[in-house]
Amino acid sequence: MYEEIKEKFKKLEEQLQDPKILSNQEKYIAVAQEYKELKELVSLIEKYENATKELENVRSMLEEENDEEMREFLKEEQERLEQEIENLDKEIKLALVPRDPEDEKNAIVEIRAGTGGEEAALFARDLFRMYSKYAEKKGWKISVTDLHETPLGGYKEIIFLIEGKGVYGRLKYESGVHRVQRIPVTETGGRIHTSSASVVVLPEAEEQEIEINPEELKIETFRASGPGGQHVNVTDSAVRITHIPTGIVVACQDERSQHKNRAKALRILRARLQDLHRKEHEREIGSKRKSYIGTGDRSEKIRTYNFPQNRVTDHRINLTIYNLEGILDGDLDEILDKLQEVELEKKLKEAATN
């Protein structure tokens, strides 16, 4: 397969020198784009092949070498090359799978407390903290657009925007029901309770993707308030937008400026409308949204956080990690890497059968 890719790249290189192609701007742009996309892949393949040859040489030298110090050096070199080849193999496989353009987008995340009353709301707060910590590690920008707190400081609902490169592609696996098993702060008998919170992750829609008719919007302003009803702003800067045809309501009170709150609310509204349109289209054609990890349904139970056993289990891929504190502190890469890896393997199998 690698030889076929290299041969195709070579032909594209020749076509870029062909006077017939050069004289046809449309054709030249198409060939140049394909050449650019293959160039990075070919570079990875060449590195992989060079590392493989080098590993063969090291193994051959190791068989013949008697000097213990030299053998130790060759063994270290062998381990280094084996790891490099494994990493390059993953990169090549990832490059071979067509990328979803939505993966590069910002993400809008909605967390809502489920069953469990106040404990569920406290768990929703823990999940928000987890994603905030993860975003911080990745250098992403996070901003809360709407928040409904409970008397104990839990979150009945929180909606926030995460901006950065490839945010949606990384966090799209988080949609679904998250469960927590622990002794609630409100429990006096020391019994373990199971509570839940739902997470929805949507890609941010571009303005040109979703057109919104201003006449179909009902826009209201109100005074933003903080915990306990304390006003955090003395002006009516918070904005509530209702999309009349669908009944979708979006509120934003994060910014002190009414104009900024309106702009943020519209960003969330576009994402929800895009999600709604996608689902309607899927119903029309009688198909379900393609998902390689679980069903892709926001009501699906995807993960359990068990405090007594210090474990987190992702039910879609049967992965259990005994590092609950670290994960709640934003160490999500181990889980997300595995989810991405499983999705990649399934995509590659599907591509091979087509």
Q: Which amino acid is at 100?
A: D
Model confidence, pTM: 0.68
* Residue-level pLDDT at 235: 55
Whichever domain contains 346, its CATH number is: 3.30.70.1660
- Average confidence score pLDDT of the chain: 86
Give 307 or 292, the one with higher predicted confidence.
Answer: 307
Residues 298 and 202 in one domain: yes
pLDDT at 231 over 70: no
Among residues 32, 200, 172, which one has the least CA distance to residue 104?
Answer: 172
Q: Which amino acid is at 276?
A: L
* Residue-level pLDDT at 35: 87
Domain that holds residue 164: 101-208+291-353
Q: What angle do CA 278, 284, 287 make, to 5 degrees?
A: 75
* The pair of three-digit structure tokens given for residue 82, joined into one six-digit string: 């084996």
Can you tell me the distance from the alpha carbon of 354 to that of 345, in angstroms, rounded to the nearest whole number? 15
Residues 315 and 201 in one domain: yes
Give 215 or 351, the one with higher predicted confidence.
Answer: 215
What angle separates helix 68-96 from helix 25-64, to the nearest 10 degrees?
Answer: 160
Q: How many domains does the chain have?
A: 3
Residues 135 and 267 in one domain: no
Residues 30 and 169 in one domain: no
The burial of 174, by beta-carbon neighbours within 10 Å (0-12 exposed, 13-18 middle, 19 or more buried), is given as buried
Q: Which of 28-42, 167-181, 238-252, 287-301 has the lowest mean pLDDT?
A: 287-301
pLDDT over 70 percentage in the chain: 89
CB 254 within 8 A of CB 232: no
* Residue-level pLDDT at 281: 66
Residues 180 and 299 in one domain: yes
Domain end, chosen from 96, 122, 143, is at 96
Residues 137 and 248 in one domain: no
Can you tell me the distance from the alpha carbon of 133 to that of 140, in angstroms, rounded to the nearest whole number? 10
Q: Which of 23-32, 86-95, 176-185, 294-303 has the lowest mean pLDDT?
A: 294-303
* Residue-level pLDDT at 229: 39
Residues 14 and 84 in one domain: yes
48: which DSSP letter? H
Residues 192 and 300 in one domain: yes
Q: Which amino acid is at 137?
A: K
Extended beta strands in the chain, E state: 107-113, 141-149, 155-163, 176-182, 193-203, 217-222, 238-243, 248-252, 301-306, 311-314, 319-321
Residues 272 and 198 in one domain: no
Task: Give residue-wise pLDDT tens across range 4-43.
Answer: 888 888 998 889 888 888 888 888 888 888 888 888 889 9
